[in-house]
Amino acid sequence: MSKTVYNPFESAQQQFDKVAESLGLDSGTRELLRQPMQEIHFTIPVKMDDGSTKVFKAYRIRHNDARGPAKGGIRFHPHETADTVRALSMWMTWKCAVVDIPLGGGKGGIVFDPHNLSANEQERLCRGYVRRLATQLGPNQDVPAPDVMSNGQHMLWMLDEYETISNGRYPSMITGKPVGMGGSLGRKEATGYGVVYVLKNLLKEMNIPIESTTASMQGFGNVGEYAARMYSELGGKIVAISCWNQVDAQSYTFRKLDGCDVEQLASIKDAFGGIDKEKAAALGYEVLPGEEWIKQDVDILIPAALENQITPAVFPNISKQVKVLCEAANGPTTPDCDPLIRERGIIVLPDFLCNAGGVTCSYFEQVQCSMNYFWDIDEVFEKLEYCMTKAFKAVYKLAVENDLYMRDAAYTIAIKRVAEAVKQRGWA
């Protein structure tokens, strides 16, 4: 198997460079957009429960805010790197632009595993993160949100620290908050539902009834669970779900060929998306190695975990039956695998279009907080489906009319919008 190590930021730049060249962007605009505008690398000292002090590395990176305040989650991961955060901030810029919301791209990260810290230690770490960044955050500057292994409680601690420092109430400075504390109804479902809104529209264009399709999924966190729920509710059949097991420190694939019961699996998963393998086996699921998810004879693959999962090394394992690659995760496919996917005739729903439901609903949360008026859940989902459908139709139309790979079509729309904002501001 290939030992190639993929740098996510280099992958993001390669994807950008390809489309920037085809658009004929001038060198100044190209150089501005292929790297972050601002990076902050810092450390956070935290007093642990045992009285000792540990120091944690952290990042906040702003890629581009020409179209509006930067927007992006804060990822908690023991292997977080600056280049991962750079890539994610860049993808956030394109994500906001492709769904045409007035925000830019940012991202944050703290290098740690929340499994290994108590709730009190996590709270002190969250508050420390905000103290180091207080002058850089805010509803008109940079708006964080949850990401991998962070959640609404973490966001609320950060909001409280920011408001204490600022001596006021600024609920729109952070999103993904609990409902009742400035959070929006529908936010927890938004990314996963957005994935399926886009998938549903693609299948309609392909004249394939969703209820006749099967899918295999990697990742069963918030995004994966709610994508699986909606897909199943619409009649699709999920035959396999792969996720990480914290106890064994490895991933497993849970397979049931006559269809996974998503509600059932959700009832036996932990707070970080890991399914209890003993309970799953008792319920009749085959427990297979983690990589088996990609080998299933299904119509749709849904990577909903981390980046760099679909590479030339694993591509031969993908069944000839697969028609659609639905990228619910950020950067799951490496650039050198795109030509293989296109040659096979698999249609890709690119990540920054497919999973933009989360940032779209975060934008809705900002708007509601600013108005101090909150919508009911049906209104949230109606607006979300409208935005995701509109974005998909624009990307699909461009791809068909110009014989473009769907990823290139999405990039073309997003980069054009950001480049135009940069030029109108006189930055390039």
- Residue of 15, 14, 12, 74 lying closest to 412 (CA atoms): 15
Q: How far is CA 259 from CA 99, 103, 215, 288, in A?
A: 32, 39, 9, 16
Q: Give kind and range of the element (H or E) at residue 287.
A: strand 286-289
Count of beta carbons in the 10 Å neighbourhood of residue 2: 9
Residue owning tokens 């769904």: 99
Structure tokens at 227: 């994508």
Cβ pair 158, 150 in contact under 8 A: no
Structure tokens at 407: 């990823």
Residue owning tokens 């190590």: 5
State how far Cα 202 lies from the chain centre.
Answer: 20
Cβ pair 92, 106 in contact under 8 A: yes
Identify the three-state secondary structure at position 356.
Answer: coil
Cβ pair 95, 359 in contact under 8 A: yes
How far is it, in rounded angstroms, from Cα 135 to Cα 127? 14
Tell me the H-state helices in 116-242.
119-133, 152-166, 187-205, 222-233
Rounded to 5°, the CA angle 147-151-155 comes to 95
- Residue of 394, 424, 428 lying closest to 68 (CA atoms): 424
Cβ pair 170, 361 in contact under 8 A: no
**Active site residues per annotation:** 107
